[in-house]
Structure 1
């Protein structure tokens, strides 16, 4: 169960007003352990005197700690920075924006979610290929290998494949596997949810997962070649206009 009331209090305590705050990380991906922290992500809005003077306010605000017995990691980007990231091949910000686990929202958030589909390009596949490669190397270095980094490998590869094929962001591994039907995913998730004693893999499992990693990378690369997604985002003017309206509304 997600403790929304506790998380909402962290949003209220933020030094700047937020356009939205959502939950990312393992809870969004569908495999939170009992000890998983809560990753809050969102957009904050700097006041005028921290935008136009020589002393600019923070483009990123980060706060981590134990609150009411929960480990909470809160990261927000200023609206201008976040909007700029939406126009790059950055799957993270789109996942955060479109997360169904909403702690705080505004009409601006709803408008951004509608614009998000026009920010997606075929080159977002590079984001997911890169992150999968990083997690795979981490997985290979560990002795004994653990389930967690392997789940992150599969999560990003399946998210990337789904994005290239369907043109939509889906970050929940279990939902993604309803389509892909990989027989080992549910077992891996169950082992992570069971805690530390089940989170290690046997060496005999490595051959299977190595073959699957290479197969899914190839699938994502092929999906990038054949996707109907555009090569460039089409939402630049919309985001520019929205940022101006957000700024002006803050002055009223």
Structure 2
């Protein structure tokens, strides 16, 4: 991991030089952060960055995303801080996940921690549950129909549905780590727990996990939870009522901290 981490940081510094930006925060966002990578999984690096003051004073808005083609299993892309804060105000789940990633690569300045501190003020259980529910339904519909299913895709339906359960139960953003969700939300003496742990052990061991017969306990749980949250999502609190959380001041403060007065 040390060599790939050094390469990721090198690439982030290269982006800073090529784009004339400063990267405030960077983390792992995909299956490696979730805890169920395949041996050939990409490194999904996501970052927040800030451009110099003059860029924001133009009468035309510039592109607010930086992306690099996937190369050597590195998938790097980032959002301009202004874009990120606009999405943060709407309780954007991917951004909230990035900020609590268990695999941070870089965190300079105080901006990311300031956003974390005020995240409860904008967090919307309802919008986040709908996000995860739609993700689960899409993957379930595409990969888990018929007698033979693409078995590794169970994780891509399980995780968002467990995130829904976490949000409903605790009223906070769900942790990224799949193991934490399983241990807190699935009874250890259940048939479902055994089936999930068996499948997870196979995936971590590098098994192919291609098309196989359905796993009964997992399939039943997914169908039950999708049906449940289709009804329960609308009853969740909207939250995110605090719109005046000082995002303009946070943004201006970040500009001063990064670029000076």
Where 1:19 maps in the other structure, the secondary structure is strand
TM-score with structure 2 setting the length: 0.84
1:134/1:114 Cα in 2 relative to 1: closer, same or farther (>3 Å)? same
How far apart are 1:98 and its partner, in Å?
1.4
Aligned pair partner of 1:101 in 100, 103, 107: 103
Identify the residue that residue 118 of structure 1 maps to in structure 2: 121
Alignment equivalent of 2:158, drawn from 154, 158, 176: 154
Rate the CA distance shift 1:35–1:99 in 2: closer, same or farther, 3 A. same
Structure 1 position 246, deviation (Å): 1.4
Aligned to 1:217: 226
Matching of residues 57-136 of structure 1 within 5 Å: 57-66=62-71, 70-106=72-108, 107-123=110-126, 124-136=128-140
Task: Give me the whole-angstrom Cα distance separating, in 1, the residues matched to 2:177 and 2:154.
Answer: 15
Cα pair 1:39 1:74 within 8 Å, conserved: yes
- Taking the aligned partners of 1:210 and 1:232, their CA distance within structure 2 comes to 33
**Distance in 2 of aligned mates of 1:142 and 1:22:** 36
Counterpart of 2:56 (choices 46, 51, 55) is 51
Q: Give the C-alpha shift of residue 54 in structure 1.
A: 4.4
| 1:185 counterpart (196, 208, 221) | 196
Kindly state the Cα deviation for residue 89 of structure 1 after the two structures are TM-superposed.
Answer: 4.2
Q: What is the count of residue pairs matched by the alignment?
A: 246
- Alpha-carbon separation, structure 2, partners of 1:233 and 1:45: 27
Q: Which runs of 5+ in 1 are unaligned?
A: none
2:26/2:105 contact within 8 Å kept = yes
Conserved? CA contact 1:87–1:236, under 8 Å: no
Instruction: Trace 1:236-251 onto structure 2 (pairs within 5 A).
Output: 236-249=244-257, 250-251=259-260
Residue 7 of structure 2: aligned partner: 6
Taking the TM superposition and a 5 Å limit, the aligned residue runs for 1:189-200 are 189-195=200-206, 197=208, 199-200=209-210
The alignment status of 1:176 with 2:178, answered yes or no, reads no
Cα 1:236–1:26, aligned 2, differ >3 Å: closer, same or farther? farther
* Cα drift, residue 18 of structure 1: 1.1
1:149 Cα deviation after fit:
2.0
Deviations 1:54-109 (A, max 9, x none): 4543201111332xxx4111111111110111122421110011112111102111
RMSD (Å), alpha carbons: 2.4
C-alpha distance in structure 2 between counterparts of 1:54 and 1:10, whole Å = 31
Q: Say which of 31, 41, 44 aligns to 2:46.
A: 41
The C-alpha deviation readout for 1:197-250, integer Å capped at 9, x for no partner, is 3x1243243x544321122224545764676x5533425432222112113333
Provide the TM-score with structure 1 as the length reference. 0.86
